[in-house]
Structure 1
Amino acid sequence: MTSATNTVDFAAEWQAWHDAHEKNRADPHGFLAVTSLNWLDETPTRYPDAPGEWSTSAAGPVVALAEGEELVIGGEKVIGRHAFGVIPERGGVTVSAGDAEFEVARRGGVDILRPRHPSHPTLVDYAGTPVYPPSPSWSAEGVFVPFDEPKPVTVGSVSEGLEHVYDSPGVVEFELRGETFSLTAFNGPTPGSLFVLFTDATSGVTTYAANRSLQIAAPDASGAVTLDFNRATNLPCAYTEFATCPLPPAENRLPIGVEAGEKTPLHPSTGTEGAPR
């Protein structure tokens, strides 16, 4: 197989991944459809973009639906009062009414309600995410170095005053552009997989200032991993103010410019790069 063929295959695989990622991002009930972020407390409160009055306590969130209001929860229609029970940290359930969905979740020790409406302008006007041209030169080989036991790592959030605590199984060491780096890793979405949160010298210039994320496949038997920065992605906070995304730990601030992966999202009203509305 020729080097040119390898490059073509690399670009085709990246394009298929990117197209699927953009399709998922523009899901009718994805983060682009979020219309508000509501922090629940013991006072029953009605929100303009959700049915019912919402409150929470040590027993978990509760919604009280007025006459004529209903929610679909677990496939069943619910009227009146419904108690969700205690929701674990970073857990949540999704309920619906009409074409809208409502995320009832727990973030940073607080229960939240996050409505998602497919007609929300941030979704309807989504203009796509610009990217750097994919290049194999931004794919780095590395090694996963596990801790003796998982280490809790506290990181900040784009939501002021909120903190997240993740268990880190170890660090990923790799070489890129002739330099050696190390990133604290967290557990990924599939068994054995990892992800890293990072910033670099492009952050706040051509890429989103707060963070980017990179998924890493499970290490092989020797601990070897591949970090393909062409697949570095924005978190939801790059698109909506109603996110609670974690910030990278301090040690994950790369001193070089990673000119690969997703750039700052396009502003819906202008088609130019800029901060979310």
Structure 2
Amino acid sequence: MTIQDVDRMSFAEEWERWHRAHEQALADPHGFLAITSLHWLSPEPTRFEDAPGAWSSGPEGVVVELADGEELTIDGTAVHGRYVFGAITERDSLYAGYGDAAIEIAKRGGHDIVRPRHPGNPLRTAFTHTPAYAPDPRWVRRGRYLPFDEPRAITVGAVAEGLEHVYDSPGQVEFELEDGETFRLTAFNGKRPGSLMVLLTDATSGVTTYAANRSLQIEAPDDAGRVTLDFNRATNLPCAYTDLATCPLPPAENRLPIAVEAGERIPLERGGRP
């Protein structure tokens, strides 16, 4: 066995560990696969089958009115009657306990929503895995971070009709393929301080990968602005599995004309191949 073979095996094993952890988080008892409904709140108190109370959104923010015998648990404390969650910040989520379920209270695209998450949801209990391309080191590309002078507010569409998301973009990421062709992607802030995230589609979208979007996390640039784009770690967003999501769409410049045959493919739940 050559050193190159060993390196490829180590690369594949590391990717397998990462993807296994990613899928465990996806299948969490209160993860996105556990969502049973999506409710857009209005000033009129409304009851839902999969959550206690009558929910509304108004000048006080999100309010729930629990009937006699109904209870939610918030930060470990049981609450009854009328409870005011207050104003929710865009893209933030709060969670209230309800038996073995979690009730998500959030704001998306300027609208307050409630999304109950029940561990017994069939989408979650039937989940096995997400198909993905075999990890290939050639899809690890070195790139350059090109920061803007000031962060720019970028408006993108959403999978939910009529909804828009606004993200602050700190800059762009430029990378080349083996043939020297250069591409530039608009980046948003990533999960960790200093890290980046890009939303993208490519020529595989709607063919072997989910049509609307995929996401790629990028570690923070080094002191010289160098970054690494590992397209093997391009992942599906929640909307790839459920219609009860409000995922953003990539900005126009992030729709690559090439086929990125790496990362996660169309989920089995959407008709993808094993």
TM-score under structure 1 normalisation? Answer: 0.96
Which secondary structure does the structure 1 equivalent of 2:269 belong to? coil
Structure 2: state its 5+ residue gaps. Answer: none
**Counterpart AA for 1:227:** L
Which secondary structure does the structure 1 equivalent of 2:247 belong to? coil
Return the alpha-carbon distance in structure 1 between the equivalents of residues 197 and 177 of structure 2: 17
Return the alpha-carbon distance in structure 2 between the equivalents of residues 267 and 160 of structure 1: 21
Per the alignment, residue 273 of structure 1 pairs with 272
Return the alpha-carbon distance in structure 1 between the equivalents of residues 201 and 257 of structure 2: 9
Per the alignment, residue 255 of structure 1 pairs with 257
CA shift for structure 1 position 273: 1.2
Which secondary structure does the structure 1 equivalent of 2:9 belong to? helix
Answer yes or no: is 1:61 the counterpart of 2:62: yes
**Counterpart AA for 1:261:** G
- Residues 164 and 246 in structure 1, CA contact (< 8 A), matched pair in contact too: yes
Return the alpha-carbon distance in structure 2 between the equivalents of residues 37 and 21 of structure 1: 24
Deviations 1:167-195 (CA, angstroms, capped at 9, x unpaired): 00000000123221100000001110000
Return the alpha-carbon distance in structure 1 between the equivalents of residues 182 and 59 of structure 2: 47
Per the alignment, residue 212 of structure 1 pairs with 214
CA shift for structure 1 position 4: 2.0
Which stretch has the larger CA shift, 1-10 or 157-166?
1-10
Return the alpha-carbon distance in structure 2 between the equivalents of residues 219 and 10 of structure 1: 22
Per the alignment, residue 221 of structure 1 pairs with 223
CA shift for structure 1 position 6: 1.5
Return the alpha-carbon distance in structure 2 between the equivalents of residues 224 and 147 of structure 1: 15
Return the alpha-carbon distance in structure 1 between the equivalents of residues 177 and 10 of structure 2: 22
- Mapping 1:128-147, distance limit 5 Å: 128-147=129-148
- Mapping 1:1-277, distance limit 5 Å: 2-178=3-179, 179-267=181-269, 272-273=271-272
Which secondary structure does the structure 2 equivalent of 1:5 belong to? helix
Return the alpha-carbon distance in structure 2 between the equivalents of residues 64 and 267 of structure 1: 36
Return the alpha-carbon distance in structure 2 between the equivalents of residues 126 and 43 of structure 1: 36
TM-score under structure 2 normalisation? Answer: 0.97
Which secondary structure does the structure 2 equivalent of 1:267 belong to? helix
CA shift for structure 1 position 63: 0.3
Deviations 1:197-241 (CA, angstroms, capped at 9, x unpaired): 000000000000000000000000000000000000000000011
Which secondary structure does the structure 2 equivalent of 1:9 belong to? helix
- Residues 168 and 186 in structure 1, CA contact (< 8 A), matched pair in contact too: yes
CA shift for structure 1 position 2: 2.2
Which secondary structure does the structure 1 equivalent of 2:272 belong to? coil
RMSD: 1.1
Structure 1: state its 5+ residue gaps. Answer: none
Return the alpha-carbon distance in structure 1 between the equivalents of residues 132 and 111 of structure 2: 35
Which secondary structure does the structure 1 equivalent of 2:58 belong to? coil
Deviations 1:92-121 (CA, angstroms, capped at 9, x unpaired): 210011001000011111110000001111
**Counterpart AA for 1:165:** V
**Counterpart AA for 1:203:** S
* Equivalenced residues, count: 271
Which secondary structure does the structure 1 equivalent of 2:33 belong to? helix
Percent identical among aligned pairs is 63
Return the alpha-carbon distance in structure 2 between the equivalents of residues 239 and 177 of structure 1: 33
CA shift for structure 1 position 124: 1.0
Deviations 1:12-57 (CA, angstroms, capped at 9, x unpaired): 1101000000111000100000000100010000000000000010
